[in-house]
Amino acid sequence: MGERNPYEGAINNLRKVSDIIQLDKHIVEILERPQNIIEFSMPVKMDSGDVKIFQGYRVQHNDARGPYKGGIRFHPQVNLNEVKALAFWMSLKSSLVDIPYGGAKGGITVDPKALSHDELEKLARGYVRAVKDNIGPDRDIPAPDVNTNAQTMAYMMDEYSHLSGKYEPASFTGKPVGAGGMPDRESATGQGGAYVIEDFIKSLPKKQKEYTVAIQGFGNVGQFFAEIIHYMGAPFKIVAVSDSRTTVFCGNGLDIPFLISHKKDTGGVAGYDKCEAMGSDEILALNVDILVPAALEGAITSQNAAAVKAKIILELANGPVTTEADEILNNNGVVVLPDILANSGGVIVSYFEWIQGRTGDIWESENVQQKLQRKLVKALSEVSKTAEEYKVSLRDAAYILSISRIAEAIRLRGFNG
């Protein structure tokens, strides 16, 4: 079931880990359901003069450790179960990297590629008007996710500031630097992934001279990760990249800066003629050392997990491996660096941006990078130690750490909420 419903998969993992740490059953019950679900429909006057109605969501999972935090996704497949799962993972992620937030997520069911820039701006502003009473710097702080970006956040922060009657830079994170944003926020998720894999490789008892890398998804996260790893150079060599239509494979290594400008010009990775092209799903079964899912959840399932040849998976997407697939990978000796650790760079730098917005202090890139790396290295080391202590996978260890911290906050604050 978890294969089709990511929320069920997430809750199955919660129950499994709760059994391992013998978590109070009331806390399990609290964490099994989101605290608030906001569902709304929203009319938008299109450029043609026609009015279209869009479905929107904001799910606030848990705020025991601080205000809710999580991105907003614009995608045709956005639905309540997906948003619930993503909100749950945000609670765990913030807790795992020890930042003072709970978890939330939002989205609009829309194909953003079919909308003009002006229509997308109206959609972004309409979203804020629909959830304005439920968000804010001390309540719930959204950020970008799939198909939303720094510009979307600038419109949203502007709308929220108008509605509040005052400048509210800490209401949204992931804004452009020119509108209260933080240097390196756009690249933060990819950069965080690079710090995690670099540190993980260093910790391996037997090191290879070279690690070949395949990256599924060439959007915000995938592109920044690819660029950072490309310039890092040895021991990493990116040999394959995919988007929703095509995989490009080049055994000698891809020219990533060229591929990024090719994608900018043409809208995809197809037509990059220096390499072999194949179907988009074929990237998952390539003979590489490190596979990096950076597209959407549910990419690796019970159907294709056995075909994965990589021995390390770095989950930059949220929930790219289903519960069933996770078990297959585990049995096959594949090490999965779990999403709530591997892609937490975005929310960590969002936290820095929120501090900047609340204090008026200006952060330099150097400071951001140093603090980001330190947080991730510490989290990876804690996860590795917990995995050894409990003899569990890195995912279960990450869940044990994050759920224990949320449980402690719930217990300390009391149950009569």
Which residue ranges make up the site for ligand NAD (CB under 6 A)? 144-147, 189, 216-222, 242-244, 280, 294-296, 316-318, 343, 346
Residue type at 323? T
> Distance between alpha carbon 9 and the CA centroid of its chain, in Å?
17
- Strands (E) across 175-317 are located at 211-216, 236-242, 246-249, 276-279, 290-293, 312-314
Tell me how far apart the alpha carbons of residues 188 and 59 are, in angstroms, rounded to a whole number. 24
The residue sitting closest to ligand NAD, measured at its beta carbon, is 219
Inter-residue contact 64 to 410 (CB < 8 Å):
yes
Helix (H) / strand (E) containing 270: none
Q: Kindly report the length of the chain.
A: 417
**Closest C-alpha among 247, 249, 38 to residue 238:** 249
Other Cβ atoms closer than 10 A to 273:
8
Question: Closest approach of Cβ 60 to ligand NAD, in Å?
Answer: 17
105 is catalytic: yes
Question: Closest approach of Cβ 286 to ligand NAD, in Å?
Answer: 13
Greatest alpha-carbon pair distance for the chain in Å reads 63
Choose, from 84, 105, 263, 375, the residue flagged as catalytic. 105
Give Cβ neighbours of residue 158 (< 8 Å, ≥ 6 apart): 125, 179
Cβ distance to ligand NAD smaller for residue 44 or 317: 317
Per-residue tokens: 92: 């765990």
Q: What angle do CA 399, 402, 405 make, to 5 degrees?
A: 140
Other Cβ atoms closer than 10 A to 374:
12
Question: Closest approach of Cβ 344 to ligand NAD, in Å?
Answer: 7
Cβ distance to ligand NAD smaller for residue 269 or 401: 269
Per-residue tokens: 417: 């909420």
Question: Closest approach of Cβ 228 to ligand NAD, in Å?
Answer: 14
Question: Closest approach of Cβ 185 to ligand NAD, in Å?
Answer: 8
Question: Closest approach of Cβ 177 to ligand NAD, in Å?
Answer: 15
* Catalytic residue positions, numbered: 105
